[in-house]
Amino acid sequence: NIVPLLRKTLIDILNDSRYADQSIELQTNVDKLMLNIDTVLIRRAVTNLILNALVHNDADVKIIVQLEQKEHTHITIKDNGKGIEEAELEKVFDRYYRGTNTAGTHAGSGLGMAIAKDIIQKHGGDITIQSIIGEGTTIDIQLPT
Where along the sequence are the contacts to ligand ATP (CB under 6 A)?
48, 52-53, 56-57, 79, 81-82, 84, 92, 97-99, 101-102, 108-114, 137
d(CA 142, CA 42): 12
Q: Supply the minimum distance, in Å, between the C-beta of residue 24 and ligand ATP.
A: 12
> Do the beta carbons of residue 87 and residue 9 sit within 8 Å?
no
97 binds, among ligand ATP, Mg ion, none (CB under 5 to 8 A by kind): ligand ATP
Closest contact distance (angstroms) between CB of 74 and ligand ATP is 17
* Closer to Mg ion by Cβ: residue 28 or 101: 101
Give residue number: closest CB to ligand ATP. Answer: 99
Q: Which entry of ligand ATP, Mg ion, none binds 9, CB below 5 to 8 A by partner kind?
A: none
- Whether residue 24 contacts residue 10, with contact meaning beta carbons closer than 8 Å, is answered with yes
